[in-house]
Structure 1
Amino acid sequence: MHPFPTPPREVLIGDAAAFVGITPRAIRHYHQVGVLPERERGGDGRRRYGHAEIIRLLWIRRMADAGIALDDIRDAFAGPAPSGADGEDEIAGVLARLEDTLAAQEAELQRKRASVQRMRTLGSRLGLLDDLVSGRLEGAPEGALRQDDLDVLLVTERIFGPLGAVMQAGRFLALALDPGLRAESDRVDAAEEALDDTVAVDDPRVAQAAAERHAFEIALMRVIEESGQLEEDDAIFNAWDELHPPEDADAAPDPDPVEGSRARSAAEIIRSMPYDFSPARLRSMELAVQLGAAAADK
């Protein structure tokens, strides 16, 4: 009589899964993706697994636990068994690719960690803007930047990219540094917001708001020019041009999954951005632009 009971030559899927430490569903999935050859069913309609299948399942689990994709595992087992020289070469190649993938993932993780640290340092919303934009706002007194300012910069980045937002950031920096200028900006904004749907487009307040906007923009630009910000912007633009081909400046990247990787023009993006402006306010904005164009022509 043998001291140990005779082991079965083959076991059912549940016993095979239990031995390996996986589930029967995982084994069925391995069959579907071609990682494990599918055994024929016996007379009772059930599949059975022998010693070779158990060994392969153990290797599959060990490789999967190491982060190797099932497609790569399948390729590794496409040749001789892993214990053979050729099999070792296949697995070595898979491990080399895995190391490259993990290195790339580690670099991406480091980038994300740096972004999070930057957000915590600058403030969550300011830190989400492009480095060029947030850097342009350095020097703003703590708490002087408003949520609305950051909202506008986010939209500007989306439409015109970081360089367009840098120019807009200069405006908000000037407002943050000059309380009187900020107060005047608030007054002009309030006059424009008062042009709601109850105001006709030919109401005198429409033209008045446009004139006040035009006068404010002139005063703001004068402050920006005197502060030397335009020279700083020029330096940023020149550095950008050295790193990016000029043809990249005409289109903004579109991260929307529906659009894929297709670049969308600024005009297309602007048209897809909803604004709740009344006809009177839109007319006032149009008149302000006309005043600015007329002044520029003089």
Structure 2
Amino acid sequence: MAWSTREIADLAGTTVNTVRHYHRLGILEQPDRMSNGYKQYQVSHLIRLLKIRRLRDLGAPLDQIADLTLDGGSASGALEAIDADLVAKIGQSQRARAEIQAILHGTSVTGVPAGFSGVGHLSEQDQSLMLISSRLYDDDVMQDMQKAASAHPDAVGKEFDDLAPDADQVVRKDLAERYALTLMKVMDDHPSLRDPTRHLLKSLEVTQNTLLESILAVYNPAQRDVLARAIVIASDFSAEGRVTEGEPTA
């Protein structure tokens, strides 16, 4: 018995266009034709087509089908690669489910990078900067950021979040000095944050420009001023510490 393209496609649970695509890729042999030009698919074609469909259902990419020796041979290497890809996808799905559950239970939010569970207390501005940072820094920095962000917010951080745009200079100076201590503790506890320029995904110029524009966009003038002062103070303390540590003892 012989089948037409439409008939064999129907038997295999696929479409005529898919059968033709398999022909073009060379993974399904062309059948003989009758004198009138119509194709005559045989049982061997149906079996091969069903094997292709089986592998496709298992997640095998079309460009690997030919390597899987559909005629009964072994192709452990290609199958192991497919299995590894499935394992990665399962892991990604499990992480996504964990993130969704965290959001549903109020322990995470949608405006932070994947993996930032337990950071529901972050301000909207901080969430935005975390999200942008995930496109600028590698996993080491982001993991340290996640650990730092998971810590319970202190009073200084809350003051910074609530700082009014027109806060006076006395308030700014006092908050900057206390906020610098928070920054220093974060850097001490999380090594990669001391020099994140070693962990860039983009060029230094792109990273600096992106962060600058982001800070200007998400923080109000008083917050930007306090942040700049705190960074300077924290940097000065760190520099002094390095000098002191490097001085010879008597």
Tell me which interval the TM-score lies in, with the shorter structure as reference length.
0.5 to 0.7
Distance 1:104 1:42, change over 3 A: same
For 1:123, the equivalent position in structure 2 comes to 108
Q: Note the 1:63-78 alignment, pairs <5 A.
A: 63-77=55-69
Output the CA distance in 2 between the equivalents of 1:71 and 1:54.
20
Deviation, 1:271, is 6.8
Q: Deviations over 1:27-79 (max 9, x none)?
A: 1111122210223544323222112112211222222222222222222237x
Distance 1:167 1:98, change over 3 A: closer
Output the CA distance in 1 between the equivalents of 2:149 and 2:82.
44
Contact 1:39 1:47 in 2 (8 A): yes
Q: TM-score, normalised by structure 2?
A: 0.64
Contact 2:156 2:178 in 1 (8 A): no
Letter in 2 for 1:249: T
Distance 1:112 1:31, change over 3 A: same
> Which residue of 176, 182, 187 maps to 1:229?
182
In structure 2, list runs of 5 or more residues that go unmatched. 237-250
Letter in 2 for 1:101: D
Distance 1:122 1:264, change over 3 A: farther
Output the CA distance in 1 between the equivalents of 2:204 and 2:26.
39
For 2:208, the equivalent position in structure 1 comes to 267
Aligned to 2:20, the other structure's residue is in SS state: helix
Letter in 2 for 1:67: G
Output the CA distance in 2 between the equivalents of 1:217 and 1:168.
23
Q: TM-score, normalised by structure 1?
A: 0.55
> Which residue of 81, 87, 92 maps to 1:103?
87
Deviation, 1:182, is 6.5
Alignment of 1:52 onto 2:44: yes
Identity %: 20
Contact 2:60 2:82 in 1 (8 A): yes
For 2:201, the equivalent position in structure 1 comes to 253
Deviation, 1:152, is 5.0
Letter in 2 for 1:218: K
Deviation, 1:215, is 3.2
Deviation, 1:119, is 3.6
Q: Rg: which structure is higher?
A: 1
Letter in 2 for 1:253: L
Output the CA distance in 1 between the equivalents of 2:135 and 2:77.
42
Deviation, 1:118, is 3.6
